[in-house]
């Protein structure tokens, strides 16, 4: 199985489980974010891991051919940007997430579930 298909399946499972978490346990997210951003070393390490994994994928599979593989490339660039954000701008990310995103967790959960199912069902 090629790496893009594996990443697609793993990302699909991750999005479905994350979406379910947001729907059923979304009220815990503010506490999780407070704990997460309260430990700068953990935030930095998370950013480094995201940066490392996305870079490994993008070096070999930076595909822009308009197929479903392009969707995974866009996701990986978003993961790359998130890793850079965690490493360089953690305070900014914390403010953005705390103020703008927490109000619509159920909607984000539903979107994540459908996106995950769509990705998992590819090929």
pLDDT at 31 over 80: yes
Q: Residues 55, 82: contact at Cβ < 8 Å?
A: no
Residue 66 Ramachandran class (φ > 0 left, ψ -120 to 50 alpha, else beta): left
pLDDT at 82 over 90: yes
Q: From CA 37, how far away is CA 90, in angstroms rounded? A: 7
Q: From CA 61, how far away is CA 72, in angstroms rounded? A: 9
pLDDT at 1 over 70: no
> What's the pLDDT score for residue 8?
93
Q: Residues 102, 95: contact at Cβ < 8 Å?
A: no
pLDDT at 46 over 80: yes
Provide the percentage of residues in the chain whose pLDDT is more than 90: 72
Alpha helices by DSSP H, the chain: 3-25, 29-37, 40-61, 68-88, 90-96, 105-120
Query: What is this structure's pTM?
Result: 0.87
């Amino acid at each position: 199985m090629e790496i893009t298909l594996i990443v697609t399946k793993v990302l699909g499972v991750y999005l479905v489980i994350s979406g379910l978490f947001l729907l059923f346990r979304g009220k815990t997210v503010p506490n999780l974010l407070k704990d997460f951003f309260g430990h700068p070393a953990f935030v930095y390490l998370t950013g480094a891991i995201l940066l490392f994994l996305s870079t490994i994928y993008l070096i070999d599979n930076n595909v822009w051919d308009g197929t479903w593989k392009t969707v995974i490339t866009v996701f990986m660039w978003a993961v790359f940007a998130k890793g850079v954000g965690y490493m360089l701008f953690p305070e900014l990310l914390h403010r953005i997430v705390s103020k703008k995103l927490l109000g619509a967790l159920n909607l984000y959960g539903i979107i994540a579930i459908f996106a995950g199912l769509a990705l998992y069902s590819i090929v």
